[in-house]
Structure 1
Amino acid sequence: MDYLEFKITCSEEFRDILVAELSAIGFDSFLESESGLDAYAAEEGFDRLGFEEIIARYKDLADIQLTEGILPKTNWNEEWEKNYDPIPVDDLVYVRASFHPPVKGFKHEILINPKMSFGTGHHATTFLMLRHQGEIDHQGKRVLDVGSGTGILAIMAALLGASEIEAFDIDEWCVENGNENFASNHLDIKMGLGTIREVKPPGIFDIVLANINKNILLDEMALYADLIPSGGFLLLSGFYESDIEDILAAAKKHNLGKVKSQTKNDWAALVLKKS
């Protein structure tokens, strides 16, 4: 079966929204790019009208530009293996695929076979989140991973000693891939499907992780805050350094104060604490 390939240039804050919208009309594979994303759908049964409606809806808002092509039947694993390199995060963790050999000198190792899901560790936001996790005590803590992607942050939480982990994503492909990665790392975690409002994670969480985008983080800030006890932590990323003040202003309304921030390639990550 041939696949249609759409190379989409768009504003960063609309990337996840486009993934969700396109997933709903049959797109089943996505790859991050520096300028947006590459989206893939089977040519057979392609919903052309639905696709055009989505692009028209967000074209001006997201500053969309796209090119379309046909990708012959592809061995997806072979394609991403060509461009997937291991990622060292300081001496904390070595993130590798199953076809890479292990490397000594790191406290932890994570196996990620990302296929077409986001969250391989290559993106600056994931790298920063992993680094921040290494600076927070996870031992015996309940952890919530919002918008889990490949499940990499949930896996990191488990390696750091979290006693209970909840994870979910809005994309069925991510859920499938995330569960595969949990199994590869010998973890008894099951990723749920849906938004935080749909999943309604039960109870209180000592640490909430959310690497999504600015708009969603602002929209869901109150929900995160309600799940965190006094003294609990909220780790955020998925936004630019220039967005930090907007994020902090929204967090302050819910008694969440800045502990620290880090940046990489203009991207930012925050550690917030509930007072």
Structure 2
Amino acid sequence: MDTLYIACDFKVKPVQPGTEILIAELGEAGFESFVENEEGVIAYIQKSEWEPSYLENIYILNSGEFEITYEVEEIAQVNWNEEWEKNFQPIEVDGICTVRAPFHPEPATAYDIVIEPKMSFGTGHHETTHMMIQHLLRLDLKGKKVLDMGCGTGVLGILAEKLGAAEVDAIDIDNWCYLNSLENVERNRCEVTSVYEGNAALLEGRRYEVIIANINRNILLNDIPAYAACLEPGGILLLSGFYKDDIPVIDELCVKFSLNFTENLEKNHWVAVKYLHAIS
């Protein structure tokens, strides 16, 4: 018997950053997949998990900051692969790195990452992932031990290994992301990347020279002390998943843990910030 789904078709003005905020909130509410379009996003949740009251608790729908309308309909089983293939195009970062699907032709760039994201975050299309790739491409990772925290599809950890990292740990609290990262690590023939399911509690006793954390502001504010505790003196911390206006509060906390701001990339109000762990 086919699984029945509820599809909520949201029209968002302005589309960005409204759609990204909406997706984040809907994900926490139990929606399991999203298809973005020029007007907003279609969000899917299994009918057995759906309650109309869920939308009453979505802050952005009631904040007045964005103009959002939506329609709700019941549909049969969704072919996620078909939906994904229609919407996923390969991306190229700085003419050096390509992120593509298995069905796309092999590119001529120096680094080729093959990702099948399914419902995980991190195809390279989002501004934050794109900027984190840019940061990594500018670093010398040869022989370094790297952490990809909140790894999503595993794309950043995979790139770190391709850039010469000696050891990569990829961690995500979401089971789907964990399984998807395992698949993508194998798909890219990674040999020194290990994937773990969990949160910052797994970091106790571990040490890294480079830490990548592309998550969201609240989780970063909670976990930055843990990152600082396992980052080697002189190590590099790359943070993204938040907006330019959030930098002061992020920076205030980082300073308390001897993390010094060195560089910031910005794209459509999203930022990716580089910190250096001061040598004591």
Give the TM-score category using the shorter length.
Answer: 0.7 to 0.9
Equivalent-residue separation in structure 1 for 2:55 and 2:169 (angstroms): 33
Please list every run of 5 or more consecutive structure 2 residues that lacks an aligned counterpart in the other structure: 13-17
**Residue 59 of structure 2 corresponds to residue 59 of structure 1:** yes
Aligned residue pairs total: 265
1:245 to 1:120, Cα distance in 2 relative to 1, 3 A: same
1:264 to 1:6, Cα distance in 2 relative to 1, 3 A: same
**Residue 100 of structure 2 corresponds to residue 96 of structure 1:** yes
Equivalent-residue separation in structure 1 for 2:163 and 2:204 (angstroms): 21
User: Mean Cα displacement is larger for which, 238-247 or 156-165?
Assistant: 238-247
1:161 to 1:176, Cα distance in 2 relative to 1, 3 A: same
Q: Is the 8 A contact 1:142 1:162 kept in 2?
A: yes
Equivalent-residue separation in structure 1 for 2:174 and 2:35 (angstroms): 13
Instruction: Write out aligned runs for 1:67-216 (5 A).
Output: 67-104=71-108, 106-188=109-191, 189-197=193-201, 199-200=202-203, 202-216=205-219
Q: Is the 8 A contact 1:31 1:116 kept in 2?
A: no
1:28 to 1:190, Cα distance in 2 relative to 1, 3 A: farther
Report SS of the residue matched to 1:206.
Answer: strand
1:78 to 1:110, Cα distance in 2 relative to 1, 3 A: same
1:35 to 1:238, Cα distance in 2 relative to 1, 3 A: farther
Q: TM-score, normalised by structure 2?
A: 0.84
Aligned to 2:251: 248
Equivalent-residue separation in structure 2 for 1:184 and 1:113 (angstroms): 9
Q: Is the 8 A contact 1:30 1:40 kept in 2?
A: yes
**Residue 13 of structure 2 corresponds to residue 5 of structure 1:** no
Please list every run of 5 or more consecutive structure 1 residues that lacks an aligned counterpart in the other structure: none
Aligned to 2:15: none
Question: How high is the sequence identity, in percent, across the aligned residues?
Answer: 39
Report SS of the residue matched to 1:229.
Answer: strand
Equivalent-residue separation in structure 2 for 1:149 and 1:38 (angstroms): 20
Equivalent-residue separation in structure 1 for 2:204 and 2:166 (angstroms): 16
Equivalent-residue separation in structure 2 for 1:87 and 1:33 (angstroms): 17
User: Mean Cα displacement is larger for which, 58-67 or 209-218?
Assistant: 58-67
User: How far apart are 1:5 and its partner, in Å?
Assistant: 1.9
1:242 to 1:255, Cα distance in 2 relative to 1, 3 A: same
Q: Is the 8 A contact 2:128 2:240 kept in 1?
A: yes
Equivalent-residue separation in structure 2 for 1:30 and 1:201 (angstroms): 34
**Residue 254 of structure 2 corresponds to residue 260 of structure 1:** no
Aligned to 1:40: 44
**Residue 236 of structure 2 corresponds to residue 233 of structure 1:** yes
Q: CA RMSD in A?
A: 2.6
Equivalent-residue separation in structure 1 for 2:37 and 2:238 (angstroms): 24
Give the partner amino acid of 1:243: D
1:60 to 1:242, Cα distance in 2 relative to 1, 3 A: closer
Give the partner amino acid of 2:7: E
Report SS of the residue matched to 2:183.
Answer: helix
User: How far apart are 1:195 and its partner, in Å?
Assistant: 2.1
Equivalent-residue separation in structure 2 for 1:98 and 1:265 (angstroms): 29
Equivalent-residue separation in structure 1 for 2:29 and 2:80 (angstroms): 22
Q: TM-score, normalised by structure 1?
A: 0.85
